[in-house]
Amino acid sequence: MAITVQRAVEDVSSPTVPASPVSPSRPPRVRRRNALTRAWGWTPGRLALIMAGLLGLMAVLGFVTVTTANTKSDATWELAEQHEPTAADVQRLYRALSEADATAASTFLAAQNASIELRKRYEDDIAVAGPTIGLAAVDRAGDPRVAREIEVIGRQVPVYAGLVEAARANNLQGLPIGAAYLREASHLMRTEILPAAERLYDIQTERVAQERDDAMRFPYLAAGLLLITLIALVATQIYLWRSFGRRLNVGMLIATGALVVGLIWSSVAFVLHASNAQSAEPERVAALAQARITALQARANELLTLVARGNGAQYEEQFDKLTTELAGKDGSSGTLATAREGAEGEVAAALANTAGATRSWLEGYREVRELDNNGRYDEAVERAVTEGATGSTAPAFAQLDAGLERALAASRDQFVDDIVAAARSLTLLTTGWAVLTVVAAGGVAYGLRQRLREYR
Amino acid sequence: MMRSRILSVLSACLVAATVAAGCGADVAPGSMVPVRPAERPLPGGVKLDPEVPKENKDNDCGDPTASLAPSGTSVPSGSTMDEIRKRGRLIAGVDQNTYLFGFRNPTTGELEGFDIDIVREIAERLLGDRSKVQFKALPASQRIDALKDGSVDLVAYTMTVTCERRKDVEFSSVYFESGQRILVAKGSDYKKVSDLGNKPVCAPAESTSLTNLAKEDPPPDLIAVDDLADCLLLLQQRQVEAVSTDDSILAGMAKQDPSVHVVGEQFSKEPYAIGIPKGNTDMVRYVNAVLDDIRNDEWDQLYGKWLEPVLGPAQPPAPKYR
């Protein structure tokens, strides 16, 4: 082949410049091909070429496997240490703002009898907003969708808090205008702030799912290279065996062994990694978070029917819609039931009495509505906000919320545990591949140099 | 000679370098955060371009305020009043959202106001005890229905007597003469409704208040709300220039905010009477007797307690009978 090329070059150059041998730019290339061809035709040269090729392949393999293992391990740790917590923080913000809407209504209804704990909870919920949107901003600086939601939350939460305080101040003075301020605040929360918080949460949840899928992706490049290198090693050994008639070349065997160890190690590690990452389902955490937020929003609507004093038809409709989503039409289906079905261990234990709590909450709600509709407003309010009153909706809801909170925490634990287990399975693989490829390269160099030395 | 040339070349280079270093676009001190003015939130259900109800020309009942003549405060057995006595309590449908007329005092949880006191006076005379009343707080849209299904004995609820309502319920004699006026910020130049042309004005949705305002030339920019309290909120936030509806309701708003006041003349007549289920004519006559009593006795005191500080002095309306 190379010879044909050389002839072709001579043919082209000979008619124009018959005296000069070849044009000055071409000879080195032709000569090198020539040299390579000549080296391949000569056994020691061929050995040197094989060695160079194998060592080059080994270097690329080392680089790719180390980078792949490192990237995967980093991505998995990052998922557990950064993306999941950020998503959880944004979810906490969404929950806190939903809770603020409910607690603001609750303290408003209880007026001067409002418990200091409830008041503090409202303040803590509002205090979560600033740092969380700061975190989200830092975490996803480049995403315009995130910037948009952060702007809405950042601009509107102070306005919301101002309206709630105006409502409280007017209410404590006995002025009915307070209720109008509270309804306006709640309207702002529902139509602007909560949708923005929900979208922000969706973006983060989506990201966790995506990062997990990325971390689980099969490393085709590294696997392909490993396969090629192994084939090259085996082919070289067959060649050596045929040409030199010696069965065993220790260096080459060490190189092959190192790569086989790497292959087995990686296979086990990646299977463990994938199966652990597979069992970490971000959808489960998201479903529980959504159930808890739905419950809080329903509770806010329950209380606002009372704040609205007879003009609360819209809140009643919302309550029915949200509780149907949460518990189904019959009180025993919906997102809660779905969450219970798939739950295991601690999550299942935490969810165990949420069904009962939901039922007594919804029963209590119907009694509250009954009282309010019959003009017994005072009793209705007492039923709705007094902790510990018999038949009151407050303790039933508190029980549901606490159950969901524990289930959510346990579910997050399970998720992070699985991700950490996945990350652990990749521990040392980076260093492992660095060492193994160096050993394999050493083996190749050692084994082929032995053969080469025979020609000196 | 040579040296000075080198020096001059060097200094020329220096000048050129200085100029070149100063090149490029000018940069003014910038900002990374676009500043937008704060958005004022609106209450839920605000209608910026509300439908204005057609004027009701249905005046075929003559003077709707003419009630049945009173026949004393005796309670014959078998009468509606007798039933209430046997039950031991009066059931009254009332408002709980209109400050000064029917509202819930948030500190006590009790219903208070001019309408509430009128009901208590009736209970006092009928049952001998002001507290023997079961108040049913109703939304305004439920007033007629509650009377129709008999779930209340009467409704005292800033209710204007109209021919249309007369078809469904009985009315007592008029106990309060209200009328539409305007509520504006103190210190503003608005003195009467005609000053408000093309200005944003808030009124309750689907009310005759909207109809009356739309008749002005030029008409104000109407903004309608489902809950009247939202009008005061919009005025406090200066998103509207005025609120316009019955002055009795405006009085309740003015009482809550010392920076606003009720101005101008009444430009509609809104006579308030107590609603009673159709057919309970004995109850109408009884209540009218009680109201006659109140006009001569407690009316001034009740008006003075609730409304005089905001609306100024007034006389009880003279009763009209068929």
State how far the Cα of A186 lies from the Cα of A169, in Å rounded to an integer.
16
Q: Where in chain B is the domain with CATH 3.40.190.10?
A: 80-177+271-311, 180-263
Closest C-alpha among B81, B71, B70 to residue B123: B81
Interface test with B, best of A172, A184, A369 (most B CBs within 10 A): A184
Could you give the percent of chain A with pLDDT greater than 70? Answer: 92
- Whether ipTM tops 0.85, in short, is no
Interface test with B, best of A156, A377, A381, A386 (most B CBs within 10 A): A377
- Contact between A189 and A160 (Cβ < 8 Å): yes
Cβ–Cβ of A155/B109 closer than 8 Å?
no
**Left if phi > 0, otherwise alpha if psi is -120 to 50, otherwise beta: which for B62?**
left
Q: Which residue type, as a one-letter code, is found at position B158?
A: T
* Residue A385 reports pLDDT greater than 50: yes
* DSSP sequence for A412-429: HHHHHHHHHHHHHHTTTH
| A377 and B CB contact within 8 Å | yes
What are the pLDDT digits (tens) for A282-317?
888 888 999 999 999 999 999 999 988 777 888 999
Looking at the complex, report in whole angstroms how far the Cα of residue A123 sits from the nearest Cα belonging to chain B: 21
Q: Which residues of B touch A187 (CB under 8 A)?
A: 41-44
Cβ–Cβ of A310/B103 closer than 8 Å?
no
**pLDDT at res. A155:** 93
**pLDDT at res. B149:** 92
Instruction: Name A212's Cβ contacts closer than 8 Å, sequence gap at least 6.
Output: A79, A277, A280, A282, A419
Q: Which residues of A touch B240 (CB under 8 A)?
A: none
Average pLDDT score, chain A: 86
B127, two tokens: 């049952």
* Residue A53 reports pLDDT greater than 90: yes
- Residues in B 115-144 with any Cβ partner in A closer than 8 A: 134-139, 142
Helix (H) or strand (E) segment spanning residue B183:
strand B180-185
> What distance separates the 2 farthest-apart alpha carbons in chain A?
119
What are the pLDDT digits (tens) for B142-155?
899 999 999 999 99
Q: Which residues of A touch B134 (CB under 8 A)?
A: 375
Burial of residue B233, with CB atoms counted within 10 A of its CB: 0-12 exposed, 13-18 middle, 19 or more buried: buried
Closest C-alpha among A189, A65, A53 to residue A129: A189
Least reliable range by pLDDT among A24-38, B153-167, B226-240 = A24-38
* Residue A201 reports pLDDT greater than 80: yes
Residue range B80-177+271-311 forms a domain whose CATH class is alpha beta
* Residue B274 reports pLDDT greater than 90: yes
**pLDDT at res. A387:** 79
Helix (H) or strand (E) segment spanning residue B222:
strand B221-225
Q: Which residues of A touch B104 (CB under 8 A)?
A: 176, 309, 377
Looking at the complex, report in whole angstroms how far the Cα of residue A380 sits from the nearest Cα belonging to chain B: 12
Instruction: Name B19's Cβ contacts closer than 8 Å, sequence gap at least 6.
Output: none
**pLDDT at res. A7:** 41
- Contact between B95 and B118 (Cβ < 8 Å): no
Q: Which residues of A touch B253 (CB under 8 A)?
A: 177
> What distance separates the 2 farthest-apart alpha carbons in chain B?
138
Instruction: Name A337's Cβ contacts closer than 8 Å, sequence gap at least 6.
Output: A327, A328, A355
Going from the C-alpha of A59 to that of each of A226, A252, B8, the distances in angstroms are 11, 16, 59
State how far the Cα of B175 lies from the Cα of B291, in Å rounded to an integer.
7
What are the pLDDT digits (tens) for B186-214?
999 999 999 999 999 999 988 889 999 99
Could you give the percent of chain B with pLDDT greater than 90? Answer: 67
| A177 and B CB contact within 8 Å | yes
Closest C-alpha among B68, B90, B113 to residue B273: B68
What would the 3-class secondary structure string for B18-51 be?
Answer: HHHHCCCCCCCCCCCCCCCCCCCCCCCCCECCCC
Closest C-alpha among A361, A355, A382, A340 to residue A296: A361
Chain center to CA of B57: 24
pLDDT band at A41 (very low <50, low <70, confident <90, very high): confident
What are the pLDDT digits (tens) for B61-83?
888 999 999 988 889 999 999 99
What is the end-to-end Cα distance of chain B in Å, rounded?
Answer: 128
Q: Which residue type, as a one-letter code, is found at position A344?
A: E
pLDDT band at A24 (very low <50, low <70, confident <90, very high): very low
Q: Which residues of A touch B107 (CB under 8 A)?
A: 111-112, 172, 174
B129, two tokens: 């005890």
Residue in the structure block whose two tokens are 């597979």? A278
pLDDT band at B176 (very low <50, low <70, confident <90, very high): very high
Question: What number of other Cβ atoms are within 10 A of residue B63's Cβ?
Answer: 12
**pLDDT at res. A342:** 80
State how far the Cα of A242 lies from the Cα of A240, in Å rounded to an integer.
5
Average pLDDT over residues B254-271: 94
Interface test with A, best of B233, B237, B255 (most A CBs within 10 A): B233
**pLDDT at res. A31:** 58
Phi first, then psi: what are they for B182, rounded to 5°?
Answer: -125, 150
B197, two tokens: 């042309």
**pLDDT at res. B281:** 94
* DSSP sequence for B133-150: EEEEE--GGGHHHHHHTT
Average pLDDT over residues A366-379: 86
Could you give the percent of chain A with pLDDT greater than 90? Answer: 52
B115, two tokens: 């309408």
Average pLDDT over residues B220-224: 95
A5, two tokens: 């090329």
Instruction: Name B145's Cβ contacts closer than 8 Å, sequence gap at least 6.
Output: none
Closest C-alpha among A285, A289, A277, A275 to residue A412: A285
- Contact between A266 and A225 (Cβ < 8 Å): no
What are the pLDDT digits (tens) for B5-33?
777 877 776 777 776 676 666 788 888 77
Average pLDDT over residues A87-110: 92
Question: What number of other Cβ atoms are within 10 A of residue B115's Cβ?
Answer: 29
Helix, strand counts (H, E) of chain A: 18, 0
Give the torsion through C-alpha atoms of A423, A427, A432, A433, to 10 deg: 20
- Contact between A187 and A308 (Cβ < 8 Å): no
Phi first, then psi: what are they for B55, rounded to 5°?
Answer: -70, 135
Compare CB distances from B41 to A170, A178, A184 and report the shortest one's residue.
A184
Going from the C-alpha of B322 to that of each of A296, B61, B69, B285, B319, the distances in angstroms are 57, 11, 7, 12, 10
Residue in the structure block whose two tokens are 């409910």? A102
Better pLDDT: A110 or A102: A102
Question: What number of other Cβ atoms are within 10 A of residue A151's Cβ?
Answer: 16
What are the pLDDT digits (tens) for A347-356?
999 998 888 8
Q: What SS3 class is residue B177?
A: strand
B233, two tokens: 């909120």
Looking at the complex, report in whole angstroms how far the Cα of residue B125 sits from the nearest Cα belonging to chain A: 23
Residue in the structure block whose two tokens are 């070059």? A9
Instruction: Name B149's Cβ contacts closer than 8 Å, sequence gap at least 6.
Output: none
Compare CB distances from A176 to B93, B99, B137 and report the shortest one's residue.
B99
Instruction: Name A50's Cβ contacts closer than 8 Å, sequence gap at least 6.
Output: A236, A239, A448
Interface test with A, best of B230, B237, B249, B310 (most A CBs within 10 A): B230
| A398 and B CB contact within 8 Å | no
Average pLDDT over residues A72-87: 91
Residue in the structure block whose two tokens are 């084939």? A231
Closest C-alpha among A446, A408, A102 to residue A252: A446
Q: Which residue type, as a one-letter code, is found at position A263?
A: L
Burial of residue A242, with CB atoms counted within 10 A of its CB: 0-12 exposed, 13-18 middle, 19 or more buried: exposed
Q: Which residues of A touch B227 (CB under 8 A)?
A: 180, 183, 308, 311
Q: What does the angle CA B96 – CA B98 – CA B103 come to, to the nearest 5 degrees? A: 40
**pLDDT at res. B101:** 94
pLDDT band at A9 (very low <50, low <70, confident <90, very high): very low
What are the pLDDT digits (tens) for A328-346?
887 778 888 888 888 888 8
pLDDT band at A1 (very low <50, low <70, confident <90, very high): very low
Average pLDDT over residues B77-97: 92
Compare CB distances from B136 to A181, A375, A378 and report the shortest one's residue.
A375
Better pLDDT: A71 or A139: A71
Question: What number of other Cβ atoms are within 10 A of residue A432's Cβ?
Answer: 19
B282, two tokens: 């004995």
Closest C-alpha among A57, A43, A59, A48 to residue A234: A57
- Residues in B 263-302 with any Cβ partner in A closer than 8 A: none
Q: What SS3 class is residue A21?
A: coil
Cβ–Cβ of B41/A159 closer than 8 Å?
yes
| A59 and B CB contact within 8 Å | no
Looking at the complex, report in whole angstroms how far the Cα of residue B104 sits from the nearest Cα belonging to chain A: 8
Average pLDDT over residues B172-177: 96
A8, two tokens: 């072709």
| A311 and B CB contact within 8 Å | yes
Looking at the complex, report in whole angstroms how far the Cα of residue A108 sits from the nearest Cα belonging to chain B: 9
Cβ–Cβ of B43/A155 closer than 8 Å?
no
Would you identify the CATH topology of the domain B180-263? Answer: D-Maltodextrin-Binding Protein; domain 2 (3.40.190)
**pLDDT at res. A263:** 94
